[in-house]
Amino acid sequence: MPVHTIVLLAAIGLLCLATIRVVSVLYKYYGAHVVTCPETRRSAGVALDVRRVLSTGLVSAPQLRLSSCSRWPERAGCGQECLSQIEAGPEGCLVRTILNQWYANKVCVFCGQPFGNIQWAVQKPALLTGGPVSVDIASLAADKLPEILTTAKPVCFACHTANSWVREHPELVTDRSSKKQLGK
C-alpha cells in the first residue's frame, strides 16, 4: 500500500475519533443546566462556556467555566463552586435530562397519550402550570424549573399546538365538538 494512502487513512481515522469526541463532549455539556447554588442553596440556571469545554476536552477532561448564570450580573464574581455538581454528573444537571425524567411514564393531561421518547428538536412537549393555557418549555427559566415541575401537568406537542392555534387564531377555528348538528 502506498505511503500517501496510509497517511490519508490515518488522517481520516483521527478525524473520525475527533468527531466522536466532540459529539460526546457536546452531548454531555451543551445546553442549560440546573445546579444548586452553594451560596444560597437554591436552584440556579447556568450554561457552560462551550468553546472552552471543546478546546480543553478534545484530548483530556474538559475544563469547565460558566458563560452565564441566573444569578448574574449581581453575583458574577463568584467562585463558580457549582461547577463541581456538573463535573460529578454532567448529564444529570442538564435541563433536557431533568425534563426527560419528569415526562417519563406520564400522559398528556388533555388527550391521555403517553409521552414515550420525546423528540426535543422536533416536537417539544409543554406544561400546564396552573392556568388553562399551556406553556412552552423554552419560555421557562432553568432556575425555576424544579419548582415549576412540582405542580405542573404534562401537555403533548399536538395538544399544545392545537390549543395555541385556537387561542391565537380563533377566527380560523371551527368547533365541531358541540352535540348540535346542522339540519336536526
Express each pLDDT in 1-30 by its tens digit. 788 898 998 899 999 988 888 888 888 888
Q: Work out how many domains the chain is built from and give that number.
A: 2
Q: Which residues 6+ apart lie within 8 Å of 135 measured at CB?
A: 126, 127, 128, 129
The dihedral through the CA atoms of 161, 166, 167, 168 has a sign that is: positive
Average pLDDT, the chain: 88
Query: Domain check: are 45 and 79 in the same one?
Result: yes
Query: Domain check: are 84 and 116 in the same one?
Result: no
- Give the chain's length: 184
Residue 182: inside a domain: no
Query: Domain check: are 47 and 126 in the same one?
Result: no
> Which of 72, 88, 104 is where one domain is finished?
88
What is the per-residue DSSP string for 124-139? --EEE-SSSSEEEGGG
The confidence score (pLDDT) of residue 179 equals 53
The confidence score (pLDDT) of residue 178 equals 58
> Which of 32, 58, 88 is where one domain is finished?
88
The confidence score (pLDDT) of residue 184 equals 46
> Which of 58, 88, 118 is where one domain is finished?
88
Low pLDDT (below 70) residues in the chain:
177-184
Report the distance separating Cα 11 and Cα 13, nearest Å.
Answer: 5
The confidence score (pLDDT) of residue 183 equals 47
Place of cell 436552584: 43
Query: Domain check: are 105 and 80 in the same one?
Result: no
Q: Which residues 6+ apart lie within 8 Å of 118 measured at CB?
A: 99, 100, 103, 124, 125
What is the pTM for the complete model shown? Answer: 0.78
Query: Domain check: are 143 and 119 in the same one?
Result: yes
What's the DSSP call for residue 70?
T
Residue 181: inside a domain: no
The confidence score (pLDDT) of residue 1 equals 79
